[in-house]
Amino acid sequence: MGRRKLVVGNWKMNGLKAQLGEVEDIGALAARHPAVEVGLCLPATLIAPAQGVKGAAFIGAQDCHMHGSGAHTGCLSAAMLAEAGAGWTIVGHSERRQDQGETDADVAAKALAAKAAGLKVILCVGESLDVRDAGHAESVVSAQLLASLPEGAAADWLAIAYEPIWAIGTGRIPTMEAVEAMHRALRAALATKIGAEADGMRILYGGSMNGDNAAELLAIGDVDGGLVGGASLTAAKFAPVIAAAC
């Protein structure tokens, strides 16, 4: 299909200026693997400081607000993040859906706000263990994707990340067959909404990808990269994931 692999680290609530050396080293890794698009979604406090050391990696944010301004204490608009130097943002991460009660409509609105500010977007979807065990994972996650998909969704500014919620940070992952089936189902769901554009949309895997399993996961046909948590916090741990995407 010719989709360039996209490997993005999500540092979550980790990282101080003392860790900018890791950002610099990951940027150097990205330069050595130009076939892979590499990025880091950092805490907002590190987006501006990272600009001088990011090398060939792009810097992204972990969330944005759906409004451009207003009485939203503690929130950051997409324009603010872009001004700080972010080129991408995550929206709809399961930790925000669960902890902050974000709805599919909220996620779609955030994606549109990000696009309006010139940011590219990684839109996250995923299922709980109960849904997986009940045998409804593919239908539930496909429905969540379609309900979260913004108007004008296109492969040049939007990527999807499938994150089985029960696998995040646990070291557990679905079987390779289950990952393949889910990514295939998500691409089919996208096609019902955006037609042939779905062929170019990158769908990332986002549940405990690391140096030990990345090669096997990234070899699956509809897995176009990874949204990587703990394994992206250091260049040493992130390096084999990036290499596996080549």
Domains in the chain (CATH in brackets) are: 6-244 (3.20.20.70)
pTM of the model: 0.97
% of the chain at pLDDT higher than 70 = 100
Q: How many CB atoms lie within 10 A of CB 195?
A: 9
11-50 tens-digit pLDDT: 999 999 999 999 999 999 999 999 999 999 999 999 999 9
- Any known ligand binding at 229? yes
Measured over the CA atoms of residue 19, residue 31, residue 56 and residue 1, the dihedral's sign is negative
Residue 170 pLDDT exceeds 90: no
Average pLDDT, integer, range 77-102: 97
Active site residues: 93, 163
- Any known ligand binding at 139? no
At residue 2 the predicted structure's pLDDT band, cuts being 50, 70 and 90, is: confident
- Any known ligand binding at 210? no
- Any known ligand binding at 230? yes
Residue 125 pLDDT exceeds 90: yes
pLDDT at 1: 52
